[in-house]
DNA sequence: TAGATTTCCGAGTCTCCGCT
DNA sequence: AGCGGAGACTCGGAAATCTA
């Protein structure tokens, strides 16, 4: 999938943009991860936290290490057991990135790391990113601005993947929709090879749930329309618009509510679902 | 001994195949 | 397209264990 070019007058570098409270900035090359579909939602959240922690304040250099208390990675569970699983999954995930000059780069999501320190055996995680990955972070000119509190609230990986991709495009001033072939859209959502092979299943289990969650909780509104060739759906048009003040208030309120029962709550609201 | 951490478990929820 | 259901997954909490 081709990454959209940013409007040239505002071609910030990642280095120059500081995240506001509760947001993190993630360069486009990382967001369009190809081949990470086997990562769990927990692992994705953990990775987003690690990225935010590492690059939120200042830009890294090759070989730099960061230390974060495990407490901040655990979430609501009190144990490290799930953190270790996620770290292993991230280290095993090889990302294929299409560079602007046409080269293809393959790199692990997460580099070497140490858990614990001499004082507290299980207290901290010291981690690094591969030296091939750090320049990507530094050179990025197109990026998404992601709201941590929103990302934490998504319950399906398809909603998170779609949110990441669209939140980046929402910032482009003159673009309000984009057409994806079904193949590209599956890749964007991170649908595993061979799964959800028919449009019916893709719509029911990936697109509809993701739309429901995003429209309930994000700062923008999404519409997805199938594009048919004959009777067969061959592509989708994804359109987006920013919410008004009332819409933003409702979204903020839903994010703050507990996850239990969310599905039923948001289903009762107006749905913009694929026909 | 108190607080931190790990292990285990079960309820709730989600995914997606097979069928109509 | 929609339904039913099996199996997988997520999550929070209780009990056990560890550490200072």
- The yes-or-no verdict on residue A271 having pLDDT over 80 is no
* Rounded distance in angstroms from the CA atom of residue A246 to the C1' atom of nucleotide B10: 40
Q: Is the CB of A158 under 7 A from strand B?
A: yes
What contacts 24+ positions apart, CB below 8 Å, involve A256-261? A259/A153, A259/A155
Whether residue A144 lies inside any domain: the answer is: no
If asked whether residues A133 and A22 sit together in one domain, one would say yes
Indicate the residue among A78, A103, A138 that finishes a domain.
Answer: A138
* Rounded distance in angstroms from the CA atom of residue A185 to the C1' atom of nucleotide B19: 28
Specify the number of domains making up chain A: 2
Burial class (CB in 10 A: 0-12, 13-18, 19+), A191: buried
Indicate the residue among A106, A138, A170 that finishes a domain.
Answer: A138
- The yes-or-no verdict on residue A3 having pLDDT over 60 is no
Indicate the residue among A91, A112, A138 that finishes a domain.
Answer: A138
If asked whether residues A114 and A196 sit together in one domain, one would say no
Please, which positions of strand B sit below 7 A from a protein CB? Answer: 4-8, 12-17
Non-local (6+) Cβ contacts of A55 within 8 A are A14, A24, A25, A137
Please, which positions of strand C sit below 7 A from a protein CB? Answer: 1-3, 9-15, 19-20
Q: Is the CB of A154 under 7 A from strand B?
A: no
Residues whose CB falls within 7 A of nucleic chain C?
A: A 40-42, 75-79, 120-121, 155, 199-200, 203-204, 259
Q: Is the CB of A196 under 7 A from strand B?
A: yes
If asked whether residues A57 and A97 sit together in one domain, one would say yes
- The yes-or-no verdict on residue A269 having pLDDT over 80 is no
Over residues A61-81, the pLDDT tens digits come to: 667 888 888 877 876 677 777
Over residues A81-120, the pLDDT tens digits come to: 778 877 887 787 776 666 667 677 777 878 888 876 555 5
Write the Ramachandran bin of A240: left for phi over 0, alpha for psi from -120 to 50, otherwise beta.
beta
Whether residue A271 lies inside any domain: the answer is: no
At A25 the pLDDT is 44
* Rounded distance in angstroms from the CA atom of residue A76 to the C1' atom of nucleotide B1: 26
Taking the C1' atom of every nucleotide in all shown strands and the CA of A263, the nearest one is B13
Non-local (6+) Cβ contacts of A114 within 8 A are A125, A126, A127
Q: Is the CB of A38 under 7 A from strand B?
A: no
Report phi then psi at A204, rounded to 5. -70, -40
Whether residue A206 lies inside any domain: the answer is: yes
Nearest residue to A97 (alpha-carbon basis) of A50, A151, A140: A140
Taking the C1' atom of every nucleotide in all shown strands and the CA of A38, the nearest one is C9
Nearest residue to A83 (alpha-carbon basis) of A92, A67, A93, A70: A70
Q: Tell me the average pLDDT of chain A.
A: 65
At A150 the pLDDT is 42
* Rounded distance in angstroms from the CA atom of residue A150 to the C1' atom of nucleotide C20: 38
**Distance, CA of A92 to CA of A79 (rounded, Å):** 22
Over residues A211-239, the pLDDT tens digits come to: 777 777 777 888 887 777 666 677 788 88
Whether residue A150 lies inside any domain: the answer is: no
If asked whether residues A178 and A213 sit together in one domain, one would say yes
Over residues A166-210, the pLDDT tens digits come to: 777 776 667 778 888 777 777 777 776 656 667 777 776 777 777
The stretch A19-47 carries a mean pLDDT of: 54
Q: Is the CB of A263 under 7 A from strand B?
A: yes
At A123 the pLDDT is 74
Looking at per-residue pLDDT, the higher value among A125 and A145 belongs to A125
Taking the C1' atom of every nucleotide in all shown strands and the CA of A273, the nearest one is C1
**Distance, CA of A101 to CA of A118 (rounded, Å):** 44
Give the β-pairing of A104-108 and A232-242: unpaired
If asked whether residues A164 and A131 sit together in one domain, one would say no
The stretch A124-136 carries a mean pLDDT of: 80
Whether residue A9 lies inside any domain: the answer is: no
Domain limits for position A257: 155-266
**Distance, CA of A52 to CA of A45 (rounded, Å):** 11
Whether residue A236 lies inside any domain: the answer is: yes
If asked whether residues A126 and A160 sit together in one domain, one would say no
Q: Are A28 and A128 in contact (CB under 8 A)?
A: no
Whether residue A273 lies inside any domain: the answer is: no
Non-local (6+) Cβ contacts of A85 within 8 A are A42, A43
CA distances from A177 to A141, A169, A170, A237 (A): 21, 9, 9, 7
Length of chain A: 275
b/e per residue A59-89 (b: at least 16 CB within 10 A): ebeeeeebebebeebeeeeeebebbeebbeb
Q: What is the 8-class DSSP label of residue A132?
A: T
Task: Mark residues 220-259 of chain A whose C-beta is closer than 7 A to nucleic acid strand B.
Answer: none
Whether residue A184 lies inside any domain: the answer is: yes
Residue A233 sits in a domain of what CATH number?
1.10.10.10
């Amino acid at each position: 999938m081709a990454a959209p070019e940013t409007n040239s007058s505002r071609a910030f570098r990642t280095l120059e943009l500081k995240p506001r409270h509760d947001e993190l900035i993630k360069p486009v090359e990382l967001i369009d991860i190809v081949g990470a579909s086997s990562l769990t939602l927990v692992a994705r959240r953990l990775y987003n936290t690690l990225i935010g922690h590492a690059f939120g304040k200042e830009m890294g250099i090759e070989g730099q290490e960061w230390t974060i208390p495990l407490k901040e990675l655990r979430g609501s569970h009190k144990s490290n057991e799930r953190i270790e699983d996620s770290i292993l999954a991230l280290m095993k995930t090889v990302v294929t990135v299409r560079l602007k000059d046409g080269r293809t780069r393959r790199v692990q999501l997460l580099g070497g790391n140490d858990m614990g320190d001499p004082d507290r055996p299980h207290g901290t995680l010291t981690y690094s990113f591969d030296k091939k990955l750090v320049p990507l972070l530094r050179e990025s000119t197109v990026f998404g601005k992601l709201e941590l509190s929103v990302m934490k609230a998504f319950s399906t990986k398809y909603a998170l993947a779609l949110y990441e991709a669209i939140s980046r495009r929402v910032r482009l001033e003159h673009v309000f929709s984009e057409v994806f072939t079904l193949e590209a859209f599956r890749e964007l959502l991170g649908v595993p090879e061979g799964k959800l092979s028919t449009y019916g299943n893709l719509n029911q289990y990936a697109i509809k749930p993701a739309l429901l969650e995003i429209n309930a909780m994000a700062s923008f509104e999404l519409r997805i329309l199938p594009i048919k060739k004959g009777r067969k759906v061959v592509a989708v048009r994804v359109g987006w618009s920013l919410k008004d003040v009332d819409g933003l208030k409702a979204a903020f309120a839903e994010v703050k509510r507990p996850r239990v029962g969310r599905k039923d709550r948001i289903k009762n609201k107006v749905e913009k679902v694929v026909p």
